[in-house]
């Protein structure tokens, strides 16, 4: 099954525009799509707003955002409200059971694990269910990708309940630390959902 067959959940970044749609002048009220390098500036601006005040560190530097959006744009998802990016996820493939520091910068195309590097929601859009909804759509989308078996992430301990609500389970403390920050590693299986795939338009 190809990435294209997962499109009910994710519109391509540059979908061909039908003549009938060319006349539309208003921006879509709400749109989910994969990100591309042209979105990198908006992604980093939102990432800075989301993370700098909280932890003083961004999970991805601007060149890393561009790196992943070049290598594996299909593992990203942005939520745009009237054309403005309000939430995003950036992922890449990983090929080991646990995350190591290499996972922070590498995309391993043969891997079957999606490493979720960052989820962020614009401050004025938080506490409205957007983070959970975006993660739900992202996991649904991953279920349509036949080579993907699970999603993993590392988060600060206080966010464990948030990710548990999305179906992630704790794997244990992460070996990765950033300055004084420590992280919990979590995973969510995305395979074995044949019923869901059959009924989700994959
Ligand atoms: C974490 C984040 C993505 C949640 O997005 P959101 O749209 O506000 O989340 P939702 O509205 O879907 O869910 C809200 C729930 O998230 C949890 N939550 C959100 N931020 C939290 C925080 N800083 N600490 C603990 N729990 C938090 C709470 O459980 C909350 O539920 P409650 O209303 O019962 O308290 C968003 O706050 C954000 O972008 N934060 C900064 C970046 C970040 O930390 N990203 C995660 C990196 S691992």
CB within 8 A of 147, min separation 6: which ones?
Answer: 112
**Mean pLDDT, 10 residues at a time, the chain of 202 residues:** 49 53 72 97 96 82 97 98 97 98 97 98 96 98 96 97 98 94 96 59 66
Query: In sequence order, what are the beta bridge partners of 90?
Result: 76, 118
The alpha carbons of the chain give a radius of gyration, in whole angstroms, of 17
pLDDT reported for residue 189? 97
pLDDT reported for residue 57? 82
CB of 53 closer than 6 angstroms to any ligand 1 atom: no
Catalytic: 99?
A: no
Structure tokens at 56: 């003083």
Q: Which of 59, 121, 167, 188 to mutate to test the pocket of ligand 1 (most atoms within 8 A of CB)?
A: 121
Catalytic: 119?
A: yes
Q: Tell me the pairing of strands 76-81 and 113-121.
A: unpaired
pLDDT reported for residue 2? 46
Question: Alpha-carbon distance 27 to 110, whole Å?
Answer: 37
pLDDT reported for residue 53? 73
pLDDT reported for residue 130? 98
* Residue 74: alpha-carbon gap to chain centroid: 10
Catalytic: 92?
A: yes
Q: Are 16 and 39 in contact (CB under 8 A)?
A: no
Question: Alpha-carbon distance 160 to 186, whole Å?
Answer: 8
pLDDT reported for residue 22? 56
Secondary structure (H, E, C), the chain: CCHHHHCCCCECCCCCCCHHHCCCCCCCCEEEECCCHHHHHHHHHHHHHHHHHHHCCCCCCHHHHHHHHHHCHHHEEEEEECCEEEEEEEEEEECCCCCCHHHHCCCCCCCCEEEEEEEEECHHHCCCCHHHHHHHHHHHHHHCCCCCCEEEEEECHHHHHHHHHCCCEEEEEEEEEECCEEEEEEEEECCCCHHHHHCCCC
- Nearest atom in ligand 1 to 122's CA: 39
- Nearest atom in ligand 1 to 116's CA: 48
């Amino acid at each position: 099954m190809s990435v294209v067959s997962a499109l009910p959940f994710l519109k391509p970044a540059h979908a061909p525009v039908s003549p009938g749609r060319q006349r539309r002048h208003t921006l879509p009220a709400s749109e989910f799509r994969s990100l591309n390098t042209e979105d990198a500036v908006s992604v980093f601006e939102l990432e800075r707003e989301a993370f700098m005040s909280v932890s003083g560190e961004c999970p991805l530097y601007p060149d890393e955002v561009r790196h992943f959006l070049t290598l594996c744009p299909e593992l990203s998802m942005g939520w745009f409200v009237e054309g403005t990016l309000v939430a995003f996820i950036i992922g890449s493939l990983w090929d080991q059971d646990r995350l190591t520091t290499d996972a922070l910068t590498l995309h391993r195309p043969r891997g079957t694990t999606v490493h979720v590097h960052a989820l962020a929601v614009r401050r004025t859009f938080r506490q409205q269910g957007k983070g959970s909804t975006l993660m739900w759509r992202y996991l649904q989308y991953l279920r349509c990708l036949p080579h993907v078996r699970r999603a993993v992430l590392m988060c600060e301990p206080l966010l464990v309940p948030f990710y548990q609500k999305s179906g992630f389970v704790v794997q244990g403390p992460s070996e990765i630390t950033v300055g004084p920050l420590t992280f919990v590693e979590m995973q969510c299986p995305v395979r074995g959902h044949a019923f869901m795939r059959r009924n989700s338009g994959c």
